[in-house]
Amino acid sequence: MRQFRKQEHIENFLKSSFRGNTLLDQIFIDHQSLPGVSLDDVDLKTEFLGKTASAPILINAITGGSDFSKTINNALANIAHEFNIPMAVGSQTIALETPSTIESFSIVRRNNPNGIILSNLNGNSTIDDVKKAVEMIGADGIQIHLNVPQELSMAEGDKDFRYIAENISKIVEASTVPVMVKEVGFGMSTKAIKELYDIGIRIVDISGYGGTNFMEIENMRNPHLDTKQLYRWGIPTALSLLEASQLELPDLKLIASGGVASGLDIFHSLVLGASMAGICGELLRYVIHGGPEQARNYINNLVEQLKRLMVLVGSTNVEQLHSVPFRITGTLKDLYTAPRFRQ
Ligand SMILES: Cc1cc2nc3c(=O)[nH]c(=O)nc-3n(C[C@H](O)[C@H](O)[C@H](O)COP(=O)(O)O)c2cc1C
């Protein structure tokens, strides 16, 4: 059942056509005619989970659990290895239930023995599940995903969300590797981020609205429940990230994902305060439609675009981007400055 669902998610993702807006294009940054730096001096190196990534780009959680996903993970792991960038596997629950699928996940570590690799499980997972998932791929950290709208729209999905935070706090206490929490394209509110911070989470991927739309993907799977009215549900990536970074919680690392597709999107995310940007849907399209070589060229382009954008604002490392002044316009400004009733 789960194996079939994973395949359907990829197929429906490829068929999906709804386009939301991340609002990342509503960030305005001044061009610097005298940047005072050289392209050769730009260094994208980023410390992450005790290792050094060569660029602040994360291949975000996608798949595992079937022969087809093994092919995808094989291609993605080779790219992660070549570019020395972190990669997360898709939810490993399927491998815990069906050990014959483990190989479709462990290939990621086999192809990339020293790389930064992340496990992925849901918020109701047990400590034993976490331990097994981490061991399965020799993970450097684990992503716990939050996906309430998606669960609610799946006939077989979870319907009880009362104990997730409590469970995550137990995972944080018991885990031998850092635990990060991510959304799946609905964005994270400041309330949720503060709650996660209070239970010890120090890495959050806000995975906002505007890219992959799981309401549309699930709507194609479930003829009994129409979720069209929720295609616009979620906090746009730029807004979620901006509000999260304004919290200024000490030692909280923010990852930006959700509709991040270009070097400019990554650049805007880093300027807004993210220390890394996650790519999922756009890369998956390249892998499936173009093949591994095109996917590789796409990542290479992102790296080169990002370096050039950094020159345009006189920055030679990712840290400096956090001090680059920016303005916000349009809907992003409206939403960010709109008064909240009933705080
Ligand atoms: C086919 C597909 C499968 C996914 N599976 C998972 C998953 O197993 N676990 C998870 O945390 N996120 C999963 N995601 C969500 C992504 O990691 C990401 O948060 C989301 O797609 C938003 O990023 P994007 O707009 O770049 O795709 C999946 C996304 C896609 C497209």
> What residues does 209 pair with on adjacent strands?
236
Number of domains comprising the chain: 1
pLDDT at position 1 is: 67
Q: For residue 169, is it within any domain?
A: yes
Q: For residue 23, is it within any domain?
A: yes
Q: Which of 119, 184, 215, 237 to mutate to test the pocket of ligand 1 (most atoms within 8 A of CB)?
A: 184
pLDDT at position 153 is: 94
Q: For residue 24, is it within any domain?
A: yes
With beta carbons less than 8 A apart as the criterion, state whether 260 and 269 touch: yes
Q: Which helix (H) or strand (E) holds 8?
A: helix 2-15
CATH of the domain at 307: 3.20.20.70
- Residue whose pair of structure tokens reads 């331990």 in the numeric block: 131
CA distance 86 to 57: 7
Residue 279 φ then ψ, to 5°: -120, 135
Q: Tell me, what amino acid is at 57?
A: I
Q: Return the ligand 1 atom nearest residue 145 CA.
A: 11
Q: Tell me, what amino acid is at 208?
A: G
107 is in which domain, residue-wise?
A: 2-337
CA distance 78 to 186: 29
CA distance 238 to 27: 8
Q: For residue 119, is it within any domain?
A: yes
Question: Computed over its alpha carbons, how large is the radius of gyration of the chain?
Answer: 19
Q: For residue 343, is it within any domain?
A: no
Q: How far is the CA of 43 from the centre of ligand 1 (A)?
A: 28
- What residue's CA is closest to ligand 1, atom 11? 145
Q: Return the ligand 1 atom nearest residue 257 CA.
A: 23
Residuewise pLDDT in 10s, the chain (343 residues): 677 888 899 999 999 999 999 999 999 999 999 999 999 999 999 999 999 999 999 999 999 999 999 999 999 999 999 999 999 999 999 999 999 999 999 999 999 999 999 999 999 999 999 999 999 999 999 999 999 999 999 999 999 999 999 999 999 999 999 999 999 999 999 999 999 999 999 999 999 999 999 999 999 998 889 999 999 999 999 999 999 999 999 999 999 999 999 999 999 999 999 999 999 999 999 999 999 999 999 999 999 999 999 999 999 999 999 999 999 999 999 999 999 999 7
With beta carbons less than 8 A apart as the criterion, state whether 206 and 256 touch: yes
- 70 C-beta closer than 6 A to ligand 1: no
- CA geometry: angle at 324 spanning 25 and 19, to 5°? 15
- 24 C-beta closer than 6 A to ligand 1: no
Q: For residue 333, is it within any domain?
A: yes
Q: For residue 320, is it within any domain?
A: yes
Q: How far is the CA of 62 from the centre of ligand 1 (A)?
A: 5
CA distance 285 to 290: 7
- 6 C-beta closer than 6 A to ligand 1: no
- Residue whose pair of structure tokens reads 């003829």 in the numeric block: 223
Q: Return the ligand 1 atom nearest residue 210 CA.
A: 25
Q: Which of 18, 240, 280 to mutate to test the pocket of ligand 1 (most atoms within 8 A of CB)?
A: 280
CA distance 155 to 303: 40
